[in-house]
Amino acid sequence: MNKLTLAIGAVVLAPFIGGLIQGFDRVLTARMQGRKGPPLLQPFYDILKLLRKERVVVNSQQILYAYMHLAMMVLALFMLFMGQDALMLLFILAFSTLSLVLGGMSVRSPYSRIGAQREIMMMVAYEPILILMVIGMYLVNGNFRLQAVFEAERPLLLSMPLLFLAYLTVVMIKFQKSPFDLATSHHAHQEIVKGLTLEFAGPCLGVIEIAHCYEVAFFLGLVGLFWLSNFWIAAVLMGGVFVLSLLLDNLCARLTTIWMFRFMWSVALGLALTNIVWLYWH
């Protein structure tokens, strides 16, 4: 199978895979809390219901930003499977998140704007980890292109164990899990108002939910990137990270933005920098 076919297949299947992962999330979370919970396919039912509703928006900018958010996530996933430049991939991811932030800031709701401000703070917290992860890939393979990672015989995890641990905190943020679910959350145990996406509704909110399915699939795909030499080990690694995120989500309460920022710039960034220094000297 050539890269183009693989990338197109990933773009087509990613929203279904991401939706199933979120369905497992809700089912397992309910079991951990002693509840029956929703059916496995509930995320798909929710998206279809949103897409069928009447289009109601506060302003036309919301629609533009929602579709830009989705388009950039699709492009990021496509570039990942095409093995393109990792630095360009980071720019596209940042643009996708900024589109969502601009959508939240385009309305007058204070809850939406606070959620957007929190999302910016989270970007400032986790972007250095992603940049250092890309630098680590360069030090290991001598190339910023992800194709070099695909062709490498030695798994990245063996060379970048501390960067992998730091990346797990990024996964928790992007999966909207406690204690990092500061801007918005899919679970009812956080707050009545939904923060960043509060003023999105109907098909516009459905587009954002589809983009989140791509986001979940993308960041789990990056986990698999750490052990590409064996598909089954990569699958176990991705499954382990998913279950770990659920456990932490149910064990931890949501904390403050300042706590998140300090943790990411001390513990997570410290782990990442230590791994970079080790790679540089070896």
Read off the pLDDT of residues 52-102 as tens digits, 9 standing for 90 and up. 988 877 777 888 999 999 999 999 999 999 989 999 999 999 999 999 999
Which is more confident, 275 or 106? 275
Residue 184: pLDDT band (50, 70, 90) is: low
Helix-helix angle 110-141:269-281, to 10 degrees? 20
- Tell whether the model's pLDDT for residue 185 goes beyond 70: no
CA–CA separation, 216 and 14 (whole Å) = 9
For range 106-124, the mean pLDDT: 85
Picking from 47, 39, 73, 51, the residue whose alpha carbon sits closest to that of residue 217 is: 73
Amino acid, single-letter form, for residue 103:
G
Picking from 70, 19, 84, the residue whose alpha carbon sits closest to that of residue 216 is: 19
Start-to-end CA distance of the chain, whole Å, equals: 36
**pLDDT computed for residue 22 by the predictor:** 92
Q: Among 182-196, 206-220, 246-260, where is mean pLDDT lowest? A: 182-196
CA–CA separation, 28 and 20 (whole Å) = 12
Bond from prior residue into 15 cis (ω within 30 degrees of 0):
no
| Range picked from 162-171, 172-181, 259-268 for highest mean pLDDT | 162-171
CA–CA separation, 140 and 112 (whole Å) = 41
CA–CA separation, 281 and 279 (whole Å) = 6
pTM listed for this prediction: 0.91
% the chain with pLDDT above 70: 94
- Tell whether the model's pLDDT for residue 118 goes beyond 70: yes
> Residue 54 corresponds to which tokens in the numbers above?
């009447």
- Tell whether the model's pLDDT for residue 226 goes beyond 50: yes
Helix-helix angle 202-224:42-52, to 10 degrees? 150
- Residue 190 phi/psi, 5-degree rounding, is -100, -65
CB 134 within 8 A of CB 144: yes
Burial 172-195 (b: 16+ CB within 10 A, else e): bbbbbbbbbbbbbbbeeebeeebb
Q: Among 72-86, 189-203, 220-234, where is mean pLDDT lowest? A: 189-203
**pLDDT computed for residue 182 by the predictor:** 65
> Residue 33 corresponds to which tokens in the numbers above?
């809390």
Q: CB atoms < 10 A from the CB of 38, how many?
A: 15
For range 148-156, the mean pLDDT: 89
